[in-house]
Amino acid sequence: MGNSKSGSLSKELLEDLKLNTKYSEEQLYTWYQTFLRECPSGRISKEQFENIYASFFPDADPKAYAQHVFRSFDTDSDGTLDFKEYIVALHLTSSGKTMQKLEWAFALYDVDRNGTITKNEIHEIVKSIFNMISKEDQKNLPDDENTPEKRTDKIWNFFGKKENDKITEGEFIQGVMDNKNILRLIQFDEPQKVQERLKEKKQ
């Protein structure tokens, strides 16, 4: 495994990640060594995370979205992601189970982390998603969802909520499970592309 630092993935953490993600021991060691090479401190700062996104989306403005994704995975709110938070992030945004993905999506949209989602919070995330979609692709969106405001209204109406209502995590998950259309509206598939490109860089 090279020097002791590059191989110092603890057995407990390794077992935990193998159990909770789809990655094999070999993959996790490879990820870990790359992670340490790019982040010798063993932690990724918000700025580094934003830079990773920026390098993958040169034609878009991913900063706001990257900040929200970072917040949703910085579970201990210390302003950095450690290896476990990073791997869980990659796993969830690309291949997690539906329930795990929806729990993550709720955390993404719950901007102030108070356990409920408001229409304003949905608008904030949707706006950051629109910054990631090229102007050309935006032209191809249906008329009733081709602006952040229209898409926010469409999502909010799916849940049958009044303007100042709030959505709980249970309502959010149930609503998305019951209507696949909402899933399409709330998610952004690019994280999977990020992971694929990260893999290409590592080969």
Q: Where are the domains of the chain?
A: 13-95, 98-198
Q: What is the mean pLDDT of each run of 10 residues along the chain (203 residues)?
A: 52 89 87 85 90 77 90 89 86 74 91 96 94 82 92 94 95 90 73 49 49
Q: What is the pLDDT of residue 47?
A: 92
Please check whether the two domains, 13-95 and 98-198, share a CATH topology. yes
Q: What is the pLDDT of residue 5?
A: 40
Cβ burial, residue 114 (10 Å; 0-12/13-18/19+): exposed
Q: What is the pLDDT of residue 31?
A: 84
**What CATH topology corresponds to 98-198?**
Recoverin; domain 1 (1.10.238)
Q: What is the pLDDT of residue 140?
A: 86
Structure tokens, 49: 């995370």
Q: Which residue in this structure is represented by tokens 């302003």?
A: 79
Q: What is the pLDDT of residue 188?
A: 62
Question: Residues, the chain, total?
Answer: 203
Q: What is the pLDDT of residue 199?
A: 52
Structure tokens, 187: 């998610």
Distance (Å, rounded) from C-alpha 89 to C-alpha 66?
12
Distance (Å, rounded) from C-alpha 102 to C-alpha 177?
9
Name the architecture of domain 13-95: Orthogonal Bundle (1.10)
Structure tokens, 184: 């399409």
